[in-house]
Amino acid sequence: MLTVTYALASFVPAGTGTAIWPLTAVLCIGGFGLGINHTSLLNLLTATVSPRYAGTLSGTVNTLSTVVGVTGVALFGAAYSWFGRSAWAGSATAWVLTCAGLALIAGLCSFAALRAIATAPAGPPDPDATADATVAPTTVFSTKENTGHTTPTAD
């Protein structure tokens, strides 16, 4: 959906006033597709990783999302600005080329994700997952006295 959105966005005229609504509608469809994809990916990742690596997964996903988002905005913003100021392109061509580049990147990422899913080995279950499941949960906060002082309770 995101790839199609970027491809369609290059043909939607952008402007001020009521001309912004067609572009807004197209980008909302892309945002919806991105949201569905991101949620599904996070569900898949968290279901397959051992609980002991949950913190590492969370840090990696959040860091990569931020770094990739900032890098994409910087690169495509610079490309749009450069194309827009060039003598041969102009703002309309800059818009089309930037959207086409975004569509190409989104399409390549979609292809790579589908290929990774199709070629992923089934593999045996993670032994850490069963070991972690058999360990009784520990209390982080308790009301027991330890060497003359009490710790706060979470209850």
The pLDDT tens digits for 96-128 are 888 888 888 888 888 887 887 777 666 555 555
Determine, yes or no, domain membership for 130. Answer: yes
- Full domain range(s) for residue 41: 2-150
Q: Which two tokens stand for residue 66?
A: 């931020």
pLDDT score at 81: 85
Quick: pLDDT tens for 126-138: 555 555 555 555 5
Quick: pLDDT tens for 53-84: 888 888 888 898 889 889 988 988 888 888 87
Quick: pLDDT tens for 28-47: 888 888 888 777 777 777 77
Determine, yes or no, domain membership for 155. Answer: no
| Domain count of the fold of the chain | 1
Q: At residue 131, what are phi and psi to the nearest 5 degrees?
A: -65, -40
The three-class DSSP label of residue 145 is strand
